[in-house]
Amino acid sequence: MWIDKDDVIVLPDMMWGNYNMTFCIRNSGKIVHYKAYDDQLTRFNVDSFEEVVREQAKINDKIITVLNFPHNPSGYSLSVEEANRVAAILIDVAKGGTNVVAACDDAYFGLFFEEETSKESIFTKLAGADKRLLAVKLDGATKEDYVWGFRTGFVTYGILGDNDLVLEALEKKTAGCIRGNISNCSHLSQTILLKSMADENYDTYKQEKFELLKRRALKMKSVLKDPKFNDSFDVYPFNSGYFMCIRLKDVDAEQLRIHLLEKYGTGLISIGKKNIRVAFSCLEESDVETLFDIIVNGISDLRKG
Ligand SMILES: Cc1ncc(COP(=O)(O)O)c(C=O)c1O
């Protein structure tokens, strides 16, 4: 819908891998990365985001960015202050004359586990903020409604003003794009989802799952406070979503992943040379400490050679 050949998409250096397939391989766009975290892993790197967005806005008349919070893979969501800053940067760049598409990939929306996290999509700050800014909100039933395989999502557009012609064009182009890509979304999934949303227990069931994930995330935080892990890995900040990441001190992430699978029957995801993603969406609270002990054992096996 919004990517032409050679368009620039500004994305963090840790990201959902499928963006590459969708934006670059299928649509010939170019991803330009910013650093998702500072070296000390204290917070999401809004400084690097700003630097890259402004740099790219100077040399392109259009830029695209995807804001994915809760973030896959790190499980980070912006604080209110950080979200305000990200929005202000994009609005400023649009006001400066660059066309901006800001897509909020809210695939994990609602799974915010901490007080200071911004609980609304950054879409609300961007929609209608400037004539050169197209805000897109993407929601997926997969994670938000825990229906893996349903392949049902929602697209919402936010533009300046109520221009029926523009809105109709966006709607028709979106329908055409779906038709031309996947023909159609599963009607069965849509119907089941619609019925579940209309059910009087919908909110209660969703809340139960939310509480389950929150308990697991908080358990991870408390287990990871133990200094016994300090020698093996650093922990990326996390406060939301399905996942969290660790940065290994000195062993190769892919080598460790294979070793953990072969020796301990433990399956994790490696990202680049140093990072491992842990999904607490498939980890019981009672297994959290065991998992990190296994990771430490695996690291020490590899260190011994
Ligand atoms: C950040 C992000 N966006 C979008 C999706 C798409 O979800 P699906 O195609 O499985 O509904 C995922 C799934 O892993 C994701 O992690």
Give tens-digit pLDDT for 48-63: 999 999 999 999 999 9
237-257: pLDDT as tens digits: 999 999 999 999 999 999 999
Average confidence (pLDDT) over 176-187 = 93
* 19 & 127 share domain: yes
User: Do residues 71 and 218 share a domain?
Assistant: no
At CA 106, angle to CA 168 and CA 205, rounded to 5? 110
Which CATH number characterizes residue 242's domain?
A: 3.90.1150.10
Does 286 share its domain with 156?
A: no
Between CA 268 and CA 20 the distance in angstroms is: 21
- pLDDT of 107 > 90? The answer is yes
Contact 122, 86 (CB under 8 A): yes
Does residue 232 sit in the same domain as residue 269?
yes
pLDDT for residue 212: 97
Ligand 1 pocket member 72 (CB < 6 A): yes
Number of domains into which the chain is organized:
2
Please indicate whether residue 121, judged by its CB atom, sits closer than 6 Å to ligand 1: no
CA distance 172 to 15: 29
Residues 134 and 283 in one domain: no
Pocket test for ligand 1, best of 20, 72, 282 (most atoms within 8 A of CB): 72
Q: Are residues 160 and 295 in the same domain?
A: no
255 vs 293: CA distance, rounded Å? 17
* Residue with token string 């029957």: 265
pLDDT in tens, 10-31: 999 999 999 999 999 999 999 9
Say if 253 falls within a structural domain.
yes
Ligand 1 centroid–CA 208 distance in Å is 22
* 67 and 142 together in one domain: yes
Q: Please indicate, yes or no, if residue 130 is contained in any of the structural domains.
A: yes
CA 300, CA 62: separation in Å to the nearest integer? 48
User: Residue 1 falls within a domain, yes or no?
Assistant: no
68 CA closest ligand 1 atom index = 1
Residue from 11, 16, 104, 185 whose mutation best tests the ligand 1 pocket (most atoms within 8 A of CB): 16
The first and second tokens of residue 303, run together, are 């260190």
- DSSP 8-state code for residue 71: P
Please name which of 221, 226, 249, 245 lies closest in space to residue 235, comparing C-alpha atoms. Answer: 245
- Kindly give, in sequence order, each residue whose CB lies less than 8 Å from that of residue 303, ignoring residues fewer than 6 positions away: 250, 251
d(CA 204, CA 36): 34
73-84 mean pLDDT:
97
> Which residues make beta-bridge pairs with 291?
none
Question: Has residue 78 been placed in a domain?
Answer: yes
If asked whether residues 257 and 130 sit together in one domain, one would say no
Average pLDDT over residues 261-273: 97
**Residues 245, 164: one domain?**
no
Give the 3-state secondary structure of residue 213.
Answer: helix
Query: Does residue 238 sit in helix, strand or coil?
Result: coil
Provide CB contacts within 8 A for 121, sequence distance 6+: 104, 106, 109, 137
3-state secondary structure of 239: coil
195, 229, 248 — which closes off a domain?
195
pLDDT of 162 strictly over 90? no
Q: Quick one: which atom of ligand 1 is closest to the CA of 141?
A: 11
SS3 category, 119: coil
Average pLDDT over residues 133-137: 98
**Of 45, 130, 66, the residue nearest 94 (C-alpha):** 130
Whether 2 is covered by a domain: the verdict is no
Tell me what the mean pLDDT of segment 159-174 comes to: 93
**Residue 71 forms part of a structural domain:** yes
Tokens for 246, please give them. 């660790």
**Domain end (from 153, 176, 195):** 195
Residue 3 belongs to some domain of the structure:
no
Q: For residue 15, give the ligand 1 atom closest to its CA.
A: 1
Helix axes 288-304, 202-224, angle to 10 degrees: 40
Tell me if 140 CB under 6 Å of ligand 1.
yes
Closest ligand 1 atom to the C-alpha of 153? 11
Residue 239 CA, chain-centre distance (Å), reads: 12
| Chain-centroid distance, C-alpha 125 | 18
Task: Judge if 206 and 273 occupy the same domain.
Answer: yes
Contacts of 171 (CB under 8 A, 6+ apart): none
CATH number of the domain bearing residue 105: 3.40.640.10
Dmax over Cα atoms in the chain, in whole Å?
A: 66
The confidence score (pLDDT) of residue 297 equals: 98
- pLDDT at position 40 is 95
Return the pLDDT at 305.
84
Q: Are 18 and 144 in a shared domain?
A: yes
pLDDT at 19: 97
**DSSP three-state, residue 214:** helix
228 and 142 in a common domain: no
pLDDT at res. 255 = 98
**Domain termination residue (choose one: 155, 179, 195):** 195
* Confidence band, pLDDT 50/70/90 cuts, at residue 168: very high
> Is the CB–ligand 1 distance for residue 16 below 6 Å?
yes
Domain that holds residue 236: 202-304
The answer to the question of residue 225 being in a domain is yes
